[in-house]
Chain A
Amino acid sequence: MQKVKSPFTVLRITAGFFRSENKQIFYPFIITVFINLLLLEILYFYPRYPLALFFSPIISRIWGDEYLHYPMNLILLPKLFYYSQIVIFLFVSNILSAMTVDMVADINNDKTVNFRASLRRSLPGYIYIVLYSTLSLLLFKAFDSAYALVIRRTLEIHSTTGIFFWIKKSVFYAAPYAQFPYSILILALILYVPVLIILEKKKFLGALIGNFKTLFGSFWVTLTLVLIPTLFYLPLLLMQSNIRSLIEVTAPEIQILIIVLGIFVITGINIFVMAAATTYYLYKKESS
């Protein structure tokens, strides 16, 4: 491995892996995108026969009959997709992106990447990867709940001028974007857990402790490794927070386009960040 001076070098080296001959490194990305698109396809057809037979009673009971009709079905679609995606994220997507760890290690050892072999080697750590996914999900949920509390408290501010008014205004305007920096921080804080589970065959708790040891002294590098690729998500976030205006000038179907773009961008970021974390971890290991 070439000498790593900064997080930008790590990112450059990682990008190089995806341009290499080892095209199978793209398999986790392709399969994750496929599973998500399949899920989206099924959810897109939920108000129509034959899927309506299954979905209609559930949708009308939880959200109301209007969501069984156009265009309200498309308004509900992102929410439905988000809930279903949690299951995919917990049980499928994360093991696929964790496989990238094994693949990057193979490239680093000048071996040819083999998807099946990586899968075979990663599967024993599956349960710990699921635990890791659950932990990250719980941390995101904790933030959501905390921010909801802040919003509720802010609603009690009646000032129309002064510092409290500006606090209130900032809390509301920041709401769609607040999760973005927090997600980056959370991801950075537990980034090496899957790396240690897959490469060092550690159990969940051992990987968690090892993660903080790896993080010690390299927090800012790790944060940059997460931050730079995640910036690609910003345009999507802007589109999502302006979805009403976008629908006004285009059509309700724009929701589908944004979800599809989101699938590609988020999966790409997850896999790239995982690969970058592995590259940096291997560098640290070799240099120590």
Chain B
Amino acid sequence: MKKLTLNLIIILLFIFAVLSLLSLGSDYRAERALWRLDHTLYEIVVHKESTPDYAFDRLAEKYRAFIKKNGESIHAKRAHLKLGDLYAIRKDYSQARLEYQKTVGPDKELSAQAELTIARTYEQENRWDKALPVYRGIIKNYPVTNSGFLVEMYLARRLGGSEIQNALSFYQNMAVKYPKSRLEYSALRMIAICQLGQKDYSNAVKTMGEIMLKFPIVQAIKESIAGINLLCITKLHDYDMPVNIYNQFIQKYPDHPADPLLKKLIKDLQLLKNKKLIIQTAPKTASK
């Protein structure tokens, strides 16, 4: 029995050694090392008030050692980004920006993320004159990255006013430029949010209808139905608009799992229309 056990253990160890050797050149080790550093950074973020300075310094040292070891790889770029975050936590924004800047490179997603964090550090310092051009640069240079795509909406929410119209135009362009894609779906959602921000409820409903007609997926249908019903019943008092949209959907997608629900909604909405009911949302009470 001992011999058999020993032989099987040797086989397992041999295979482990061979697979380890063969995978020496892969990114896995770097990924793992970086994750561990990021995990420590996360711990520092959670307990930043009680973290002593030497813990910050030690982690920064480790990030630098990692960057040195991994040269110009994508992992080194990511490490620069995290090192920047570490400085930002310590409110050393100029040093943070230096690190973020080193992340900018051929990887557009990472670059957009780096630029975004640069802009945020300016914001932290209340330097909107510096932050705004960086945000605009992200929208111009990286519009189809995750970070770049959301910047217009961020500015619209943060600044309001004409920024909402800018965001609306931006997302309308994106929807036209990338038809039948996930980007169009996301752009249409953003358009609806902007229209809600402008209190343009009629167009918001049309956009929501467009979303569910173009993208008959669960999330899109759920969100659209909720939005359309709420706006049409409580704001527009127009029961024909949702009925038309739902009828179009049923015609376009017969046998869709959502059809029974939509048919029931059409019935309910017609009942509300016949009873000439006007439902309004309760006015917000002023907080004391």
Contact = CB atoms under 8 A, between A and B. Distances in A.
Interface of A: 23-24, 26-27, 30-31, 34, 37-38, 41-42, 45, 47-52, 69-71, 251-252
Instruction: Summarize B's interface: helix, strand, loop or mixed.
Output: helix
Nearest to A37: B12
Contacts of A69: 31
A38 B10 CA distance: 12
A148 to B, nearest CB: 18
B219 interface: no
Interface in B72-117: none
Interface stretch (B22-30, B185-193, B223-231): B22-30
B23 A48 contact: yes
Given A49-B22, A49-B23, A30 B12 contact: no
B15 interface: yes
A196 B36 CA distance: 53
Contact of B26 (A37, A49, A71): A49
B75 to A, nearest CB: 11
Nearest to B16: A41
Given A41-B16, A70-B35, A30 B5 contact: yes
B201 to A, nearest CB: 29
List 4 A-B pairs, minimum CB-CB distance, nearest first.
A48-B23, A70-B31, A23-B1, A34-B8
- Listed residue (A24, A37, A42, A48) with the most chain B CB atoms within 10 angstroms of its CB: A48
A30 B1 contact: yes
Interface of B: 1, 4-5, 8, 11-12, 15-16, 19, 22-23, 25-26, 28, 31-32, 35-36
B15 A49 contact: no
A173 B16 CA distance: 38
A27 B4 contact: yes
12 contacts: A34-B12, A38-B11, A41-B16, A45-B19, A45-B23, A47-B26, A48-B19, A48-B26, A49-B23, A69-B31, A71-B35, A252-B35
B108 to A, nearest CB: 17
A52 B26 CA distance: 10
A252 B28 CA distance: 14
Contact of B1 (A24, A38, A71): A24
B1 A26 contact: yes
A41 B15 contact: yes
A41 B19 contact: yes
B15 A51 contact: no
